[in-house]
Amino acid sequence: MKRIVIFASGSGTNAENLIKFFHNRETGSVILVLTNNPHAKVLERAKSLNVSAMSFNRVAFTQNNDVLNILKASKPDLIVLAGFLWKFPEHILNEFPNKVINIHPALLPKYGGKGMYGSFVHEAIVKNKETETGITIHYVNEHYDEGAIVFQVKCAIEPSDTAEDVAAKIHELEMEYFPKVVEGLIKD
């Protein structure tokens, strides 16, 4: 059974979806949820599903080895960023090469990079009158949203769609495809 650790910063709907997907599955299990936000709803979601969850600060993440040591002790086969907003530090990436993935709410390389997350992405897509968008699951490297792409899926955008409409379409794609892609990666 493969071990999955999730990093999230907010409400945790993707984390919850992954935890439920892998509950009672033989392929893998979510063993830990980590967040940079001590008030994130993801902490409640994880604990309500009997998954250990904890928050950390920037010093523990980037300057000393606290988060790295937690990860080493957890022995994850895959680290999944699910709405995690901080840039992942190189010292952790070096310890877990090709074992950290992220989900992005657009078709990279479009609408990626620092500051392009959540509603900012959807608003930019609507403002630029795009006719399609989607999700990208990619490996994490030392640059925002530039790691090798694992999976993309598209959806159409209607001229009348608002940023909220786009967000709802993206959420549906995330709920359907993210767990399946994660499972495919841990099976390989």
The pLDDT score that the predictor gives to residue 111 is 98
* 157: containing domain: 2-187
- Phi/psi region, residue 134 (left: phi>0; alpha: psi -120 to 50; beta: rest), is left
Q: Which residue among the candidates 39, 104, 122, 171 is catalytic per the annotation?
A: 104
Angle at 83 between CA 80 and CA 88, to 5 degrees: 60
Tell me the pLDDT tens digit for each residue of 113-168: 999 999 999 999 999 999 999 999 999 999 999 999 999 999 999 999 999 999 99
Coil/strand/helix, residue 77: coil
CATH number where 86 lies: 3.40.50.170
Q: Which of 51, 55, 63 is nearest to 5 (CA)?
A: 51
Under the banding of pLDDT at 50, 70 and 90, the label for residue 35 is very high
The pLDDT score that the predictor gives to residue 165 is 98
How far is it, in rounded angstroms, from Cα 70 to Cα 168?
34
Identify whether 171 is a catalytic site residue: no
Q: Average pLDDT of 60-78?
A: 97
How far is it, in rounded angstroms, from Cα 175 to Cα 173?
6
Question: What is the pTM (predicted TM-score) of this model?
Answer: 0.96
| Whether the Cβ atoms of residue 83 and residue 45 lie closer than 8 Å to each other | no
Tell me the pLDDT tens digit for each residue of 6-32: 999 999 999 999 999 999 999 999 999
Average pLDDT of the chain is 97
* Total count of domains within the chain: 1
The yes-or-no verdict on residue 188 having pLDDT over 90 is no
